[in-house]
Amino acid sequence: MFGKSSYRVIRIGHPLLRKSCRDIVPEECGSKKFGGIIRKMIRTMRAYEGVGLAANQVALDMKLVVMECQSSRRYPDSFDFALEVWINPRILRVSKETVSDWEGCLSIPGYRGIVPRAREVTFEAWTPKGEKVQKTVRGFHARVMQHETDHLIGKVYIDRMPDLKQWVHLETFNKLMHTHVKDRVD
């Protein structure tokens, strides 16, 4: 499963997960190496059945995220969105309205927690083609964007939880939600 075509996701406790990542400079973006990093991150996210992946989760110190939700087994009630690749994403505005819902993380496998997030966010980022984009996303899509941009500043979802009593093992989560969700653990 792993090898040259994908990365291993690092786990909580690795220092890079708690570090603010460096900005990517424009000169990096057009290189063959950078394109390979993006492709490898996408394959890794899909191999782990994730809906998002930040570069520091695969031990790369750079502000790069990939996101995609296509009938996710880890988030079966979520709404789908197409593959997105964002360079140096930065949230500009968040809605006052928040929604509390379950989150998990590829770097913290086997657990879920209730996390409040803004229902809507507006962010700016660069595309791999060098276009600056400003976009507003809502619902689950906004939750994923907030989760991934948190990674880039050294935060994980449990840092956003107001009540750690709502942090549960996946086995308990499945009983509570009447699901059979599994995280990939290697």
Provide the annotated active-site residues. Answer: 148
Structure tokens at 133: 């984009």
Structure tokens at 129: 């083609």
Residue with tokens 């790069």: 64
Distance CA 111, CA 92 (A): 29
CA 153 vs CA 90, 91, 185: distances in Å: 10, 12, 25
CA 141 vs CA 47, 71, 95, 126, 163: distances in Å: 20, 13, 14, 18, 23
